[in-house]
Chains A and B, each alone.
Chain A
Amino acid sequence: MAIIKVSRRDFVKISSTASAGLILGVSAPALGQKKKPTVLEVGPFIEIGTDGLVTVWVTKSDMGQGVRTALPMIVAEELDADWSRVRIRQAHYDRKFGAMGTGGSGSIRSMWKPLRQAGAAARSMLLTAAAAKFGADAATLTVKDGVVTDPKSKRTLTFARLAEPASKLEVPKDVKLKENADFKLIGKKVDRIDNRDIVTGKAKYGLDVRVPGMLYASILRSPAFGGKVARLDDTKAKSVPGVRHVVKIDSIGTDLPWNGVAVVADSTWAAMKGREALDVTWDAGAATAESTATLRKRLDEDVKSARSIHDAGNVDRAMSAPAKTIEATYELPYLAHATMEPLNAVASVTANGAELWLGTQFPNWVNSSVADALKLKSEQVKVNVMMLGGGFGRRANPDFALEAALVSKAVGAPVKVTWTREDDMQHDFYRPASHHHVRAGIDKDNKLVAWHHRFAAPSISAYFDSKSRKPWDSESGGLDDLPYAIENIGVDFALVPSVVPRGWWRSVEHSINSFVINSFLDEIARETGRDPIELQLSLLPAGKKMGTGDFPFEADRLRRVIEIVRDQSGWGGARAGEGRGRGFAAQWSFLSYAAQVAEVSMKDGEVQVERIICAVDCGTPVNPDGIRAQVEGAIVYGLSAALHEEITIEGGAVQQTNFHDFPLLRINEMPKVEVHIVPSNAAPTGVGEPGLPPVAPAVANAIFDVTGKRLRSLPFKLT
């Protein structure tokens, strides 16, 4: 399976190229829908019926980021459709839809062109059909809200009337897309398509799926990573009323790293009670030797022998005799995703194939992984994508789907596997823990001339591929492409072994590296007597570009978001009061630009984050209210981690179990959040993640501002 060898950054590239140009000229096969009112199909994405309804297939998973609203907006814009007549259907896994994986803040970016082209092609076909009816030149006709008008004769035709004749036409290959200035829907606040279903409890998440004859399963997994069943006594479990089967589940590489014992019953509660009654002895071998203490020791030692992975300029020479050296060490823990909806999947495996229903970010990975495990062909595995009660990277992995498929196969019935919160907390693919030693060289003119960043971590790539030749591939973003004008930049990395599974946690390495970079820049500013914002701007020469391709880094865009938060926060002016502090951070990630100023207050030794001012440039804003929501959410996710979250290991197992020992930010701790979106005509870039990386360092810098205490570890501990 390809995805596991792909780093998040490659995956950005893949998802942006794979779907381009895939739509037009593809004649969609029957879509398994009631064919009646559907007449005009354009590529796999659009259907327009004789009822005038425009149906857009959503091929990305919605875990809260709002793609089920924003993607059809893009189609409706080019089509000049009536938004109230647009419907969506969630795509099940099918190759014809192209790259279906959702991650890397790439849904809008990757679908922007293909959906616009499909919408414009459909519009052009409707216009050609109308022109024939009117006996007019198609170029003279206008379209608004799903109605085509001939300005000369004042005659009109609706999409409903035109769908049938348009369906007889060839899908045009070359279509002209709108100029941004002509957008009517894109850039407007559009309400979420799922609002009504959500507030009435009708929205269907994986957990809500019921299929006829379905049984319910709860799985006890080895607490220590990699542990196998040494002894199993299921007598008591089987005597729990409602329990039907007890099934051993074996791990399958990193696709399914857990060995477990599944209790299958008539109801979720019976399955959970049966599972409680299991008597299992686990053998986790050497894994039990790992603890947070052993890992920290190792990280601390190995960072000293880190090897160079990037050297621009000559960092060793530059660091050999600077006028001044500044050094600091930063530490970050393992983190769990803790999606609000615990993992779950429904699988129905028969002799002919498998069907799954689940909230997944990668239906393609579920498909290939289940097909491999059950020795089925890809076509025999149907994957239905439900609503996701949060994803944040956790629902990228296929482990929970595989388990359901294996249990269903073993018991010969459809099965829903529901994870408990404890299962989720203890069997995640965690954000890697890491240690960072950073040194800065300052020359005699007080100028930052060298940046040497050494870090050690058990990496994501190395978890999925122990032979990876670039095990730092999912950890070095933001470091080996540090966008600042510093003459000498060196990055060294040491891979540290760990039994803990690693994975992609919202904003991946940027959540880590931004904390180190922005905290250290703040330290440098204080040590060299400069203003942190002024220092960062001085490292971003106007007009500087870096990299090539569609999305080079543009210093001007980062400068702009920094200037916005500087001006909006009253930076440089008096603090809002006694015990108040202010901190700043900025990060370029997922091709978007974000800057934040945090304001904190200290009361009785406790930090209260009062306000976060954020500016983001993510190219053309498709649904600004959706962007605002994502940035607000990313800030909360990052703040929650900075203030509270830490996964610790003892005996090769995670110690935390539920929200009492892995607390999340609650409403009473919530700061005011202001989001400023930079108007732009550039192609859209990431939204779901870029708001996260600046928040931890902005708050840490604000705490320093008010207390003079430098917090170099996450989560923050003030005492």
Chain B
Amino acid sequence: MADIRLNVNGKVKAITASPDTPLLWVLRDELALTGTKFGCGMGLCGACTVIANGEAIRSCSTTVAEVSGQKITTIEGLSADASHPVQKAWMAENVAQCGYCQAGQIMSAVVLLAKHPNPTDEDINEAMSGNLCRCGTYNRIRGAIHRAAEEV
């Protein structure tokens, strides 16, 4: 067990955890930030995607020790009132079905748009193919990213 400081959604949190604990479980179990989801635990599905220092990372396969001191943003930190352009686009396109994968999808899309404000379909494939959606909302995800790109 170690004392670790995490900067999550603009707030510094002190936690005690074994340093090998995946960030995902600290967010969910310790900090009660349950918007970030568990899907595979192996970096294969993207359900656990959060942003760390501007990069989309898989929190299931990143230890707390690795991101200590980095600026972490989870879905809860994007905006609580759904006013972020990506969130708005997601609602406008009615992307979600079960919704479980969507926090991860949105976080990946936010990073994509920060890097490519006008992404091509190829850019989207590249950035989003690590995020699975078992409900099959892929075409709406694509539509929502293009819509958000127009708004940003």
Chain A interface (Cβ within 8 Å of chain B)? Answer: 62-66, 191-192, 194-196, 198-205, 207-208, 210, 216, 241, 267-269, 338-342, 387-392, 418, 420-421, 625-626, 629-630, 632-637, 640, 658-660, 664-668, 670, 672-673
User: Chain A residues near B78 (CB, 8 Å)?
Assistant: 200
A-B contact pairs, 7 of them (CB 8 A): A269-B17, A341-B37, A421-B40, A636-B138, A659-B45, A667-B131, A668-B125
B51 to chain A, nearest CB (A): 13
Closest-CB distance, A273 to chain B (whole angstroms): 8
Contact assessment for A205 and B100 in the assembled complex, using a CB-CB cutoff below 8 Å? yes
Q: Beyond the given A201-B34, A268-B28, A391-B98, could you list 6 further A-B residue pairs with CB under 8 A, ordered by the A residue number?
A: A267-B29, A340-B98, A392-B134, A636-B133, A636-B138, A658-B42
Separation of A269 and B32 alpha carbons in the complex (Å): 14
Given contacts A268-B28, A340-B39, A633-B135, contact A191 B87 (CB under 8 A): no
Return the chain A residue nearest B125 by Cβ: A668
Whether B35 and A200, one on each chain, are in contact in the complex, defined by CB atoms closer than 8 angstroms, is yes
Q: How far is the CA of A1 from the CA of B138 in the complex (A)?
A: 39
Q: Which residues of B contact A63 (CB under 8 A)?
A: 98
Given A269-B22, A390-B134, A632-B139, A200-B75 contact (CB < 8 Å): yes
- Find out whether the CB atom of B87 lies under 8 angstroms from the CB atom of A199: yes
Taking CB atoms, residues of chain A closer than 8 Å to B87 are 199-200
Chain A CB within 10 Å — which of B29, B37, B100 has the most?
Answer: B100
Q: Do A667 and B124 have beta carbons less than 8 Å apart?
A: yes
When distances are taken between beta carbons in the complex, the residues of chain A under 8 Å from B41 are: 420-421, 658
Report Cα–Cα, A64/B97, bound state, in Å: 4
- Inter-chain contacts of A208 with B (CB < 8 A): 28, 34
Give A387 to B35 CA distance when docked, in angstroms: 13
Chain B 125-150: CB-based contact to A (< 8 A → 1; otherwise 0): 11011011111111111100000000
Interchain CA distance A270-B36 in the complex, whole Å: 19
Do A659 and B97 touch (CB < 8 A)? Answer: no
Contact residues of B between 100 and 143, Cβ < 8 Å to A: 100-103, 106, 124-126, 128-129, 131-142
Distance of B128 from chain A, by nearest CB (Å): 5
In the assembled complex, the Cα of A625 lies from the Cα of B39 at a distance in Å of: 27
Nearest residue, chain B, Cβ from A210: B32
Digitize B25-68: 1 where CB-to-A-CB distance is under 8 Å, 0 elsewhere: 10011101111111111101101000000000000000000000
> Distance (Å) between the CB of A511 and the closest chain B CB?
14
Main secondary structure of the interface of B (DSSP, over half): loop
If A340-B100, A389-B98 touch, does A629 touch B42 (CB 8 Å cutoff)? no
Contact between chains at B39 and A667 (CB < 8 Å)? no
Complex: chain B residue closest to A670, CB-CB: B138
From known contacts A340-B133, A667-B124, infer whether A199 and B42 are also in contact, taking CB-CB under 8 Å.
no
Give A269 to B132 CA distance when docked, in angstroms.
23
Q: Is the CB of B137 within 8 A of A629?
A: yes
* Known contacts A64-B135, A201-B75, A268 near B42 by CB under 8 Å: no
Compute how far the CA of A63 lies from the CA of B44 in the bound complex, rounded to whole angstroms: 22
On whether the beta carbons of A665 and B34 are closer than 8 Å, the reply is no
> Which chain A positions have C-beta within 8 A of B36?
201
- List B contacts of A268 (CB < 8 A): 25, 28-29
Report whether A659 and B96 are in contact in the complex, using a CB–CB cutoff of 8 Å.
no
Give the CA-CA distance A64 to B30 in the complex, in Å: 28
A340/B132 contact (C-beta < 8 A), A194-B96, A207-B37, A670-B139 known: yes
Cβ–Cβ < 8 Å partners of B74 in chain A = 201
Instruction: Give the interface centre of B33, B79, B102, B135 by most chain A CB atoms within 10 Å.
Output: B135
| CB <8 Å contact, A340 and B25 | no
Nearest residue, chain A, Cβ from B34: A208
Partner of A388, one of B80, B98, B132: B98
The answer to whether B22 touches A64, judged by C-beta atoms less than 8 angstroms apart, is no
Closest to A639 in B: B136
A198 touches B102 (CB 8 A): yes
Q: Which residues on B sit within 8 Å (CB–CB) of A200?
A: 35, 75-76, 78-82, 87
| Contacting residue for B137 out of A191, A420, A626, A632, CB 8 A | A632
Count of residues in B whose CB is under 8 Å from the partner chain: 61
Query: Nearest Cβ in chain A — how far from B96, in angstroms?
Result: 5
- Within the complex, the shortest CB–CB distance from B93 to chain A, in Å, comes to 10
Q: CA separation between A635 and B91, bound complex, in Å?
A: 22
From B22, B41, B94, residue with most partner A Cβ within 10 Å: B94
On whether A196 and B133 interact (CB within 8 A), knowing A269-B21, A340-B39, A341-B98, the answer reads: no
Per the bound structure, the CA–CA distance linking A632 and B134 in Å amounts to: 11
**Closest A residue by C-beta to B90:** A199
* A196–B99 alpha-carbon span in the complex (Å): 11
Chain A nearest CB from B30 CB (Å) reads 7
The A interface, classified by DSSP as helix, strand, loop or mixed, is: loop
A340 and B47 contact, Cβ closer than 8 Å, known pairs A194-B99, A390-B134: yes
- Verify B35–A202 contact, CB threshold 8 A: yes
B30 touches A341 (CB 8 A): no
Residues from chain A with a CB closer than 8 A to the CB of B124 are: 667
C-alpha gap A244/B132 in the complex (Å): 34
Flag if A664 contacts B134 (CB, 8 Å): yes
| Residue from A269, A664, A672 having most chain B Cβ neighbours under 10 A | A269
Q: Measured between C-beta atoms, what is the minimum distance from B116 to chain A in Å?
A: 15
Contact B94 A195 (CB under 8 A): yes
Q: Report the minimal beta-carbon distance from A45 to chain B, rounded to whole angstroms.
A: 23
Q: Which of B37, B125, B142 has the most CB of A within 10 A?
A: B37
Q: Is the CB of A667 within 8 A of B128?
A: yes
Q: Which residue of A lies closest to B75 (CB)?
A: A201
A199 to B107 Cα, complex, angstroms = 10
Q: Determine which residue in B30, B40, B79, B91 has the highest number of CB atoms from chain A within 10 A of its CB, and name it.
A: B40
CB-CB nearest in chain A for B96:
A198
Q: Contacts of A637 on B, CB cut-off 8 Å?
A: 134, 136
CB-defined contacts of A62 to chain B, threshold 8 Å: 98
- A22 CB to closest chain B CB (Å) equals 28
Quick check: is B70 within 8 A (CB to CB) of the other chain? no
B18 CB to closest chain A CB (Å) equals: 7
Q: Residue among B39, B47, B74, B128 with the most chain A CB within 10 A? A: B39
Residues of A within 8 A of B136 (CB): 632-637, 640, 665
Which residues on B sit within 8 Å (CB–CB) of A391? Answer: 98
- Asked if B140 and A629 make an inter-chain contact with CB atoms under 8 angstroms apart, the answer reads yes
Partner of A667, one of B75, B80, B96, B129: B129
Q: In the bound complex, how far is the Cα of B82 from the Cα of A203, in angstroms?
A: 13
Residues of A near B102 (CB, < 8 A) are 198-199
Q: Are A199 and B134 in contact (CB under 8 A)?
A: no
- The residues of B that contact A194 with a CB separation of less than 8 Å are 96, 99
Residues in A whose Cβ lies below 8 Å from that of B79: 200
Q: Which residues of B sit under 8 angstroms from A191, Cβ to Cβ? A: 91, 94
Residues of A within 8 A of B45 (CB): 340, 421, 659
Closest Cβ neighbor of B35 among chain A residues? A201
* Cα distance A328–B135 in the bound complex, in angstroms: 33
Give CA–CA (A342, B17) in the complex, Å: 24
- Contact of A672 with B139 in the complex, beta carbons under 8 Å: yes
Pick from A202, A208, A339, A670 the residue with the most CB of B within 10 Å: A670
- Given A267-B29, A268-B29, A660-B42, are A340 and B96 neighbors across the interface (CB < 8 Å)? no
Q: Judging by beta carbons under 8 Å apart, are A667 and B142 in contact?
A: yes
Chain A minimum-CB-distance residue to B86: A199
Could you tell me the distance in whole angstroms from the C-beta of B47 to the nearest C-beta in chain A? 6
Q: Is the CB of A633 within 8 A of B97?
A: yes
- Find out whether the CB atom of A66 lies under 8 angstroms from the CB atom of B97: yes
| Residues of A with C-beta under 8 A to B138 | 636, 665-667, 670
Q: Which of A195, A392, A421, A658 contacts B91 (CB 8 A)?
A: A195
B95 to chain A, nearest CB (A): 8
Q: Which residue from chain A places its CB closest to the CB of B141 in the assembled complex?
A: A667
